[in-house]
Amino acid sequence: MQHSYQNCKFVNTPSSINMVKKVLILIFIILTISFFIPQQSHSWGFFAHKRINRMAVFTLPPGMIGFYKKHIEFITEHAVDPDKRRYAVEDEAPKHFIDIDRYAKDGEDPFKNMPRKWKDAVAKFTEDTLKAHGIVPWWIETMVKRLTEAFRNEDLDRILRYSADLGHYIGDAHVPLHTTENYNGQLTNQKGIHGFWESRLPELFAEDYDYWTGRAKYIEHPLDYAWDRVQESFSAKDSVLLLEAQLNAVFPSDKKYSYENRGAAMMRVYSYEYSLEYNKLMSGMVERRMRSAIIGIGSLWYTAWINAGQPDLSRLDNKEISEQLRKEQEEEDKMWKTGIIKNSKGHED
Ligand SMILES: [Zn+2]
């Protein structure tokens, strides 16, 4: 005989009690597992990187903006390629950060110890050491040179790819926790703060940010420009860490996290209330760093174009991205989805 729905639901037969127990155990297991799944975090979070690259297009002068607007979807979508590439390409990871505090003892200014030029830095610390602790400022300079070359050759594939990539690395240099060995609060019992600052806060509050930064400017010395941004990021990292620690000390611990459905998985996230309080303590820092990244990206794209002799980009109007580039990017995407990290050195996100 078939049980009616009501019979199953309301009569406390031994089998229905068993069922309830099983369901409760299952819920407990799911919650426990999701508690230990680290929050997915990428540099600036995919959301913020895309927003930053996209907004940078609007800083460009008349000779460039038409071209970039035409390809704005590419520039936006591929803002996160370098993070995906970390899964496919060895040596990619150190390009996203620099743990500058590795170069100073307590109280010392690490920037005084670190020569800004790559050759001088290699001579002082060796290439292996530099790569182990991150190379983002030098990599920005390299990418500006590559983009300049791509403009000179009027090579559509490379102009687009290097523009998107350069945007990513400049974005990373603006994140305070990309400049310290305590990049995820792991040394101060604040694990998860990396994704909290650069992913969770923008995802919750970036709609209210003001992205109008004015026109891109010519940058005389891209390497110094990159270093200056890293220095600003580093000087903000204490606030990022200390203010979270202070908030954590006074905020009810049972309200610090909540659970959200992310695709198929339940993820533990910093609760909205906790995020709101932290965002207040940051007093606009996330917005300021995003704005600085936007104008920085526009300015370095512009600089590369000027240095290449201001090629007429309308000559590329009828060209499309090559099949080869499309395939390369699909391949990287696949590698990323399989999640095999070839290079596990350095920041893991
Ligand atoms: Zn990155």
Ligand 1 mean position to 323 CA, how many Å? 26
> Do 7 and 56 fall into the same domain?
no
The pLDDT tens digits for 107-166 are 789 999 999 999 999 999 999 999 999 999 999 999 999 999 999 999 999 999 999 999
| Per-residue pLDDT, 334 | 84
Domain that holds residue 4: 1-36
| Per-residue pLDDT, 341 | 56
Q: Compute the residue count for the chain.
A: 349
Ion ligand 1: residues, CB < 5 A: 43, 83, 96, 172
Say which residues have a Cβ less than 8 Å from residue 180's Cβ, sequence separation at least 6. Answer: 99, 100, 101, 234, 237
> Do 27 and 84 fall into the same domain?
no
Averaged pLDDT of the chain: 88
Q: Give yes or no for residue 25 having a pLDDT over 70.
A: no
Q: Give yes or no for residue 284 having a pLDDT over 60.
A: yes
> Do 121 and 9 fall into the same domain?
no
- Mean pLDDT, residues 251-258 taken together: 96
Q: What is the CATH number of the domain that holds 327?
A: 1.10.575.10
**Amino acid letter, 96:** H
Q: Give yes or no for residue 36 having a pLDDT over 50.
A: no
Ligand 1 mean position to 175 CA, how many Å? 10
Burial bucket for residue 67 (CB in 10 Å: 0-12, 13-18, 19+): buried
| Per-residue pLDDT, 331 | 84
Ligand 1 mean position to 128 CA, how many Å? 20
| Per-residue pLDDT, 332 | 84
Ligand 1 mean position to 65 CA, how many Å? 25
Crossing angle of the two packed helices 272-282 and 285-307, in degrees rounded to 10:
60
Q: Give yes or no for residue 264 having a pLDDT over 90.
A: no
Say which residues have a Cβ less than 8 Å from residue 324's Cβ, sequence separation at least 6. Answer: 157
- Compute CA 143 distance to the chain's CA centroid, rounded to the nearest angstrom: 17
- Mean pLDDT, residues 229-253 taken together: 97
DSSP assignments along 112-138, one per residue: HHS-SSHHHHHHHH-HHHHHHH--HHH
CA–CA gap between residue 159 and residue 102 (Å, rounded): 35
The three-state secondary structure class of 262 is strand
Q: pLDDT-derived band of residue 88, with 50, 70 and 90 as boundaries?
A: confident
Residue carrying the six token digits 């920085």: 296
Ligand 1 mean position to 198 CA, how many Å? 11
How many Cβ atoms sit within 10 Å of the Cβ of residue 36? 7
CA–CA gap between residue 177 and residue 347 (Å, rounded): 10
> Do 10 and 135 fall into the same domain?
no
> Do 73 and 22 fall into the same domain?
no
DSSP letter assigned to residue 187: T
Ligand 1 mean position to 314 CA, how many Å? 31
| Per-residue pLDDT, 39 | 39
Q: Give yes or no for residue 344 having a pLDDT over 90.
A: no
CA–CA gap between residue 283 and residue 150 (Å, rounded): 40
Ligand 1 mean position to 148 CA, how many Å? 22
> Do 133 and 3 fall into the same domain?
no
Least confident of 81-85, 137-141, 174-178: 81-85
| Per-residue pLDDT, 262 | 79
Q: pLDDT-derived band of residue 45, with 50, 70 and 90 as boundaries?
A: confident
Q: Give yes or no for residue 3 having a pLDDT over 50.
A: no
- Mean pLDDT, residues 77-92 taken together: 89
Q: Is residue 343 part of a domain?
A: no
The three-state secondary structure class of 284 is coil
Q: Is residue 346 part of a domain?
A: no
Q: Is residue 3 part of a domain?
A: yes
- Mean pLDDT, residues 212-222 taken together: 97
User: Which whole-number Å values give the CA distances from 91 to 95, 130, 256, in the listed order?
Assistant: 8, 12, 36
Ligand 1 mean position to 231 CA, how many Å? 18
> Do 317 and 264 fall into the same domain?
yes
> Do 84 and 171 fall into the same domain?
yes
Q: Tell me the β-bridge partners of 258.
A: 269
The count of domains in the chain is: 2
The pLDDT tens digits for 296-329 are 999 999 999 999 999 999 999 999 999 999 998 8
> Do 12 and 79 fall into the same domain?
no
Query: Which has more confidence, 86 or 259?
Result: 259
Q: Give yes or no for residue 194 having a pLDDT over 90.
A: yes
Backbone angles phi, psi at 266, to 5 degrees: -85, 125
| Per-residue pLDDT, 129 | 97
> Do 74 and 28 fall into the same domain?
no
CB-CB contact of 297 with 133 (8 Å): no
Q: Is residue 347 part of a domain?
A: no
Q: Is residue 349 part of a domain?
A: no
Q: Is residue 78 part of a domain?
A: yes
Q: Is residue 187 part of a domain?
A: yes
> Do 25 and 51 fall into the same domain?
no
Q: Is residue 108 part of a domain?
A: yes
The three-state secondary structure class of 30 is helix
The three-state secondary structure class of 29 is helix
In percent, the amount of the chain with pLDDT more than 90 equals: 75
> Do 7 and 154 fall into the same domain?
no
| Per-residue pLDDT, 316 | 97
Question: Smallest Cα–Cα separation from 61: which of 291, 166, 215?
Answer: 215
